[in-house]
């Protein structure tokens, strides 16, 4: 077998959750159990529509199949060739299934064939984890340890799956790499890649990872975070969301900071909900993670590593410089890491482009320090072109993600925190009066302080209406924003039209 599923033992542990999945027509039950003496919960996978007797016969089918074909040779095929091989072998396996299950209906045969194909030429039970939308991350550390995953609700969990050999883990890595034109070898033992689904993959080979070969999969959010989801989850307050909406509407650039897993990219995606539909938006990422509404004029771009000969690489800097020749209104950047990238970004801000990017830093002051010191080393006065800093935080004790700070940049380049999370109350609220944002808005729009406050109240009212009506979908929010900027948003008519569309 590609991997082994450990039998689910009788337990005295606490059942935390239970739900079902269907993967390639195979019914799967998932149970999450906290054993009394285990540091993390168990994530148990149980196949329900294939009996133990059927599994034994399928193993016999599998053994007969591998006697007929050279699976080691299959593993060396290029990605396109491998697809052809899988199609050919599907016929072979279908013949064997018909032989051993002659009275089975076509639907069941197809399910059994898919199951065997995945076991021999795919990711096997790891596909169950990839199909589970409750999981954010999947990690294989070596063949001795269980496959682990990061559950959105329960944090790290141990799956009842083990990959049987180190060579099989290496094969998984090679197969992923070939699918996107990359390779992982003893001479190049580190690989960043992605699956066709958009899931981001990092792989390492031993002895670089001394306990064994590793694969880390960061799952792509098929149902991306939106502003209403963020507010409902308590990630950001209604008032803070309205404030950021006002800043984005008036084309203020924003940097999103935070630690690993704090929700920086999710916040970047959420802020893009507020872009006008008549603006041209360019996004630049190492691996595609952002998802914008279909109403947006959006051009996504991704970097590319050089081939083994060192040719064909496309860097973040290459794309940044090129993006300025593409007449963008808004530029989204996955992460600022180097001086050259930051310099181009701030030059873009100075020339009138709105820029939104992420950076690793734990608070607003750290963002200023990181940007103005080596290796990035941006002159501090240049920071004044930046509108706001939004800091995301992940509470390691309970796994919750929150907006920690919203800060404006003063003319001298220092950060002035205008809203901050009160940890003891889990409440994001005012800290210092704004010294810059209101003045900028008054200068560039002619709005009075009262008009700005009234506009914020109106935005809060719309966001509240969106929450009340459970408008969570990114395309629905895109339509709302499009109508808002056109000045034709009528909440009653919008709700009726949406209902009519759903009933068609």
CATH code for the structural domain at 3-218: 3.30.450.380
Smallest Cα–Cα separation from 31: which of 20, 44, 41? 44
Instruction: Give me the helices (H) in 101-165, please.
Output: 106-121, 126-131
C-beta separation of 387 from 350 below 8 A: no
C-beta separation of 435 from 408 below 8 A: yes
Distance CA 229, CA 217 (A): 24
* 3-218 and 227-498, same CATH topology: no
Residue 459: enclosing H or E segment and its boundaries? helix 449-468
What string of DSSP letters covers 276-333? -TTSEEEEEESS------TTSEEEEEE-B---TTS-S-B-HHHHHHHHTTS--SEEEE
Tokens of residue 238, six digits: 């209604």
DSSP β-bridge partners for residue 43: 32, 159
CA 500 to chain centre: 32
Tokens of residue 469, six digits: 């009506």
Q: What is the pLDDT of residue 197?
A: 82
Q: What is the pLDDT of residue 1?
A: 39
The one-character DSSP state at 13 is S
Longest distance between any two alpha carbons in the chain, whole Å: 80
- Output the tens digit of pLDDT for each of the chain's 504 residues: 345 555 555 667 899 999 999 887 788 899 999 999 899 999 999 987 777 778 788 777 777 776 766 555 555 544 444 455 556 677 777 888 888 888 888 888 788 877 777 666 667 788 889 999 999 999 999 999 999 999 988 999 999 999 989 998 998 899 888 878 788 999 989 998 888 888 889 999 999 999 999 999 998 877 889 999 999 999 999 999 999 999 999 999 999 999 988 999 999 999 999 999 999 999 999 878 899 999 999 999 988 878 777 788 899 999 999 999 999 999 999 899 899 999 999 999 988 899 999 999 999 999 999 999 999 999 999 999 999 999 999 987 777 899 999 999 999 999 999 999 999 999 999 999 999 999 999 999 999 999 999 999 999 999 999 999 999 999 999 999 999 999 999 988 998 888 877 544
Q: What is the pLDDT of residue 235?
A: 97
Looking at domain 227-498, its CATH architecture is: 3-Layer(aba) Sandwich (3.40)
Q: What is the pTM of this model?
A: 0.81
How much is the CA Rg of the chain, to the nearest whole Å? 26
Residue 477: enclosing H or E segment and its boundaries? helix 474-486
Distance CA 44, CA 342 (A): 45
CA 82 to chain centre: 27
Q: What is the pLDDT of residue 104?
A: 84
In the chain, where the domains are located: 3-218, 227-498
Distance in Å from the first CA to the final CA of the chain:
46
Instruction: Give me the helices (H) in 30-78, please.
Output: 52-68, 71-74
C-beta separation of 330 from 354 below 8 A: yes
Q: What is the pLDDT of residue 388?
A: 98
């Amino acid at each position: 077998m590609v991997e082994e599923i450990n039998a689910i033992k009788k337990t005295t542990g606490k059942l935390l959750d239970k739900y079902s999945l269907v993967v390639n027509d195979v019914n799967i039950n998932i149970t999450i159990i906290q054993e009394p003496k285990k540091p993390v919960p168990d994530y148990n996978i149980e196949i329900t529509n294939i009996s133990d007797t059927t599994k034994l016969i399928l193993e016999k089918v599998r053994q007969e199949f591998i006697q007929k074909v050279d699976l080691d040779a299959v593993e060396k095929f290029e990605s396109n060739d491998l697809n052809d091989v899988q199609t050919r072998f599907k016929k072979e396996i279908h013949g064997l299934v018909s032989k051993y299950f002659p009275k089975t209906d076509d639907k069941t045969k197809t399910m059994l064939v898919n199951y065997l194909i995945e076991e021999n030429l795919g990711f096997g039970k790891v596909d169950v984890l990839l199909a589970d939308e409750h999981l954010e991350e999947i990690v294989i550390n070596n063949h001795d340890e269980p496959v682990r995953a990061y559950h959105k609700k329960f944090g790290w969990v141990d799956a009842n799956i083990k990959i049987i050999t180190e060579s099989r883990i290496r094969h998984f890595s090679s197969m992923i790499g070939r699918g996107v034109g990359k390779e992982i070898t003893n001479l190049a033992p580190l690989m960043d890649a992605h699956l066709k689904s958009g899931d981001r993959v990092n792989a390492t080979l031993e002895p670089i990872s001394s306990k064994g070969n590793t694969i880390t999969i960061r799952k792509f959010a098929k149902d991306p975070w939106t502003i209403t989801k963020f507010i409902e989850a308590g990630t950001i307050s209604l008032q803070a969301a309205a404030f950021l909406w006002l800043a984005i509407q008036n084309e203020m650039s924003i940097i999103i900071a935070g630690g690993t897993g704090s929700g920086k990219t999710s916040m970047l995606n959420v802020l893009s909900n507020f872009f006008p539909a008549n603006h041209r938006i360019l996004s630049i990422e190492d691996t595609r993670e952002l998802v914008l509404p279909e109403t947006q004029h959006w051009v996504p771009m991704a970097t590319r590593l050089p081939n083994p000969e060192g040719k064909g690489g496309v860097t973040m800097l290459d794309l940044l410089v090129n993006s300025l020749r593409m007449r963008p209104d808004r530029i989204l950047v996955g992460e600022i890491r180097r001086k050259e990238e930051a310099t181009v970004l701030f030059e873009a801000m100075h020339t009138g482009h709105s820029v939104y990017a992420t950076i690793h830093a734990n608070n607003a002051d750290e963002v200023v320090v990181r940007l103005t010191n080596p290796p990035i080393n941006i002159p501090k006065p240049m920071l004044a072109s930046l509108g706001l800093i939004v800091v995301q935080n992940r509470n390691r004790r309970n796994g919750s993600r929150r907006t920690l700070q919203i800060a404006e940049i003063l003319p001298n380049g220092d950060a002035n925190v205008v809203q901050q999370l009160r940890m003891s109350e889990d409440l994001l609220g005012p800290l210092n009066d704004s010294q810059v944002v209101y003045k900028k808005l008054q200068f560039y729009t002619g709005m009075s302080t009262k008009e700005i406050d009234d506009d914020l109240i109106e935005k809060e009212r719309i966001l509240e209406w969106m929450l009340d009506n459970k408008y969570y979908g990114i395309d629905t929010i895109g339509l709302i924003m499009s109508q808002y900027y056109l000045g034709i948003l009528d909440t009653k008519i919008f709700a009726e039209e949406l209902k009519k569309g759903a009933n068609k």
